[in-house]
Amino acid sequence: MSKLYIPKNYSPVLNVKETEKAIILIKDFFQLCLSTELNLTRVTAPLFVPSGTGINDDLNGVERSVKFPVKDLNNTQMEIVHSLAKWKRLKVTELGLKPGFGIYTDMNAIRADEELDNLHSLYVDQWDWCLAMTPENRTVMFLKEVVEKVYRCLKRTEFFVYDRYEKITPCLPEKITFVHAEELQRAYPDLTPKERENIVTKKYGAVFIIGIGGKLPDGTIHDGRAPDYDDWITETGDGNHGLNGDLMVWNPVLDSAMELSSMGIRVSPESLRLQLNERGCPERANLEFHSKLLNGELTQTVGGGIGQSRLCMYFLRKAHIGETQVSAWSEQMLSECRAASIAIL
Is residue 246 annotated as part of the catalytic site, yes or no? yes
Q: Is 310 in the active site?
A: no
**Catalytic residue chosen out of the listed positions 57, 58, 128, 228:** 57
Out of 89, 111, 273, 279, the active site residue is: 111
106 is known as an active-site residue: no
Active site residue 57: yes
Say which of 37, 63, 223, 259 is annotated catalytic. 259
Q: Is 190 a catalytic residue?
A: no
HEC assignment per residue over the chain: CCECCCCCCCCCCCCHHHHHHHHHHHHHHHHHHHHHHHCEEECCCCCEEECCCCCCCCCCCCCCCCEEEEHHHCCEEEEECCCCCCHHHHHHHHHCCCCCCEEEEEEEEECCCCCCECCCCCEEEEEEEEEECCHHHCCHHHHHHHHHHHHHHHHHHHHHHHHHCCCCCCCCCCCCEEEEHHHHHHHCCCCCHHHHHHHHHHHHCEEEEECCCCECCCCCECCCCCCCCECCCCECCCCCECCEEEEEEEECCCCEEEEEEEEEEECCHHHHHHHHHHCCCHHHHHCHHHHHHHCCCCCCEEEEEEEHHHHHHHHCCCCCHHHCCCCCCCHHHHHHHHHCCCCCC
The catalytic residue among 35, 121, 126, 325 is 126
- Catalytic hit among 35, 83, 185, 262: 262
145 assigned to active site: no
Catalytic residue among 58, 246, 271, 323: 246
Which residues are catalytic, by number?
57, 111, 126, 246, 259, 262
